[in-house]
A and B are shown apart, each in its own frame.
Chain A
């Protein structure tokens, strides 16, 4: 087994959670890499959907945006954006919504809108895009992000996308009948919500990670499962697939640059 980085472990652990029969609405960034590694390894028939309207896409390189041309060229079909959100997402056809987060709390609520006050923000982030409805219309939500105290906080500044709210049956009380966040994959661990409180609980530590490193990089007091597992290290195939994909991506994105203008 060769060496691997925590980020590679995160992407590969996230990819393992996906199945060939999943219909996955893919967020850009870390989720996109994980979804495509899954497709290129154990889940060849997975349906990947990007919000630009591409259904069943199989890009050879990772897109920089959710609307890169290759997504359309390799898709089973490309539909308009309103159709995407109405028939396919709102229609309940997405099994997994895969999201990243700028700020996350222990109940899987996500902020990608502002740091600070909404009217007078300290930092204006891009906003929700498709996420508010992905978070509530997908049958389940997976979240992936690298751990940091800035990112994983006790209280998020803005509820862009609703997870389990204050925990417990908060989703149900709002009339949301989908499962919400059921899995969080970070660069250090795999987390699942407690069946009662819905608080994310560490169920598996990645190789090399410890309870201490997980706590040091998380802004809330971390709960650990009684029986803590160790995430299997990436296999040669998983690692090679991810690295090849990233190398192809880098070459492709640099390839469109003008001479003397590096990407």
Chain B
């Protein structure tokens, strides 16, 4: 059953050194505040899983928190490369980073398999793709009915998944709207799930019966963090801070500048600072 906690407690209760952790969000609803809290608490030796590791994984990898990344697109969407991740892969700085690389289809299927309690995902993919040569977790399976050769990857089962969502009700049910991405699957695939939300409401009366809701008993902790996905966005609350994504490209290009930025904007800040960061983006949403 979900417990409402301050973000610092929600993170310290559910994340451990050495965990396989997913901070999921597909451009939309990226759990930045939770990732920043994890950075402040200084976790180490994490395996970071995410389809689209963007700024927050660039930050966590740059701070030396991760041994391994499992991903399918490691870019700053629409801007370019992830420069801290690149530094780790190309130069082993600040520490070497093992990578397990997939396609989006594979990761999406693998989360779904995790949520469905299956050991692996089966799909038509990786045909002619060289990732199958360099990633030993990409194998194939023959359909017992048609003989078709299909791709197989292990199910994803994170120790803990962090997501950001629009709102929770008082009972701790969570509503996700807009580009829902992979969040539902990532939560249901994980042993523990932590959700940050923009607000808590009395109830979800009047919403569509097919809305994407994570029942309270699928979530371990909820923290209320308005603005908690900035510079990503929360549909209905505030717009994506595209300028911040463009700016990140410069910040992350230099090791010293990166450290200074992290000190000033993450280490010396708290979850309470997120609301102010989206104030200028609210009417644009």
Q: Does B43 contact A (CB under 8 A)?
A: no
Q: Does B281 contact A (CB under 8 A)?
A: yes
- Report the nearest A residue to B104, measured CB to CB: A130
Contacts of A28 in B (CB 8 A): 77-78
CA distance A78 to B134 in the complex (A): 33
CA distance A65 to B123 in the complex (A): 26
Contacts of A257 in B (CB 8 A): 242-243
Query: Interface on chain A toward B: helix, strand, loop, or mixed SS?
Result: loop
With A69-B233, A81-B181 as known contacts, state yes or no: A127 contacts B73, CB within 8 Å.
yes
CA distance A253 to B247 in the complex (A): 12
- Report the nearest A residue to B123, measured CB to CB: A90
Q: Are B74 and A127 in contact, CB atoms less than 8 angstroms apart?
A: yes
Contacts of B239 in A (CB 8 A): 69, 256
Q: Are B240 and A71 in contact, CB atoms less than 8 angstroms apart?
A: no
Q: Does B28 contact A (CB under 8 A)?
A: yes
Q: Are B108 and A253 in contact, CB atoms less than 8 angstroms apart?
A: no
- Report the nearest A residue to B130, measured CB to CB: A159
Q: Are B79 and A130 in contact, CB atoms less than 8 angstroms apart?
A: no
Most buried by A among B27, B111, B149: B27
With A52-B181, A65-B77 as known contacts, state yes or no: A81 contacts B51, CB within 8 Å.
yes
Q: Does B182 contact A (CB under 8 A)?
A: yes
State the Cβ distance, A169 to closest chain B Cβ, in Å: 13
Q: Are A85 and B90 in contact, CB atoms less than 8 angstroms apart?
A: no
Contacts of B242 in A (CB 8 A): 64, 253, 256-257, 263
Q: Does B37 contact A (CB under 8 A)?
A: no
Q: Does A227 contact B (CB under 8 A)?
A: no
Q: Are A69 and B103 in contact, CB atoms less than 8 angstroms apart?
A: no
Most buried by B among A82, A113, A129, A160: A82
Residues from 174 to 216 in A contacting B, C-beta threshold 8 Å = 174-176
| Total A-B contacts with CB atoms under 8 angstroms apart | 198
State the Cβ distance, B152 to closest chain A Cβ, in Å: 14
Contacts of B129 in A (CB 8 A): 128, 132, 136, 159-162
Stretch at the interface among B5-13, B80-88, B161-169, B215-223: B80-88
Q: Does B71 contact A (CB under 8 A)?
A: yes
Q: Are B125 and A133 in contact, CB atoms less than 8 angstroms apart?
A: yes
Q: Does B280 contact A (CB under 8 A)?
A: yes
- Report the nearest A residue to B52, measured CB to CB: A129
Q: Does B131 contact A (CB under 8 A)?
A: yes
Contacts of B178 in A (CB 8 A): 69, 72, 78
Contacts of B212 in A (CB 8 A): 80
Q: Are B89 and A121 in contact, CB atoms less than 8 angstroms apart?
A: yes
Q: Does B68 contact A (CB under 8 A)?
A: no
Contacts of B105 in A (CB 8 A): 85-86, 89-90, 130, 132-133
State the Cβ distance, B155 to closest chain A Cβ, in Å: 12
Residues 121-149 of A, flagged 1 when their CB comes within 8 A of B and 0 if not, give: 11111111111110111000000000000
Q: Does B72 contact A (CB under 8 A)?
A: yes
Q: Does B274 contact A (CB under 8 A)?
A: no
CA distance A48 to B118 in the complex (A): 33
Residues from 215 to 274 in B contacting A, C-beta threshold 8 Å = 233, 235, 239-243, 245-247
CA distance A125 to B72 in the complex (A): 11
Q: Does B179 contact A (CB under 8 A)?
A: yes
Q: Does A51 contact B (CB under 8 A)?
A: yes
Contacts of B74 in A (CB 8 A): 124, 126-127
Contacts of B240 in A (CB 8 A): 64-65, 68-69, 256
Q: Does B185 contact A (CB under 8 A)?
A: yes
CA distance A77 to B243 in the complex (A): 28
Contact of B27 among A52, A78, A137, A174 (CB under 8 A): A52
Contact of A85 among B109, B148, B246, B284 (CB under 8 A): B109
- Report the nearest B residue to A80, measured CB to CB: B180
State the Cβ distance, B52 to closest chain A Cβ, in Å: 8
Q: Are B128 and A174 in contact, CB atoms less than 8 angstroms apart?
A: yes
Most buried by A among B74, B75, B103, B149: B103
Q: Are B128 and A165 in contact, CB atoms less than 8 angstroms apart?
A: yes
Contacts of A220 in B (CB 8 A): none
CA distance A174 to B126 in the complex (A): 11
Q: Are A127 and B101 in contact, CB atoms less than 8 angstroms apart?
A: yes
CA distance A129 to B86 in the complex (A): 16
Contacts of B81 in A (CB 8 A): 124-126
CA distance A84 to B26 in the complex (A): 13
6 additional A-B residue pairs with CB within 8 Å, beyond A65-B245, A85-B108: A69-B285, A81-B181, A124-B90, A129-B73, A257-B243, A262-B243
Chain A residues with CB under 8 Å of chain B are 28-29, 51-54, 63-69, 71-72, 78, 80-82, 84-86, 89-90, 113, 118-119, 121-133, 135-137, 158-162, 165, 170-171, 174-176, 253-258, 261-263
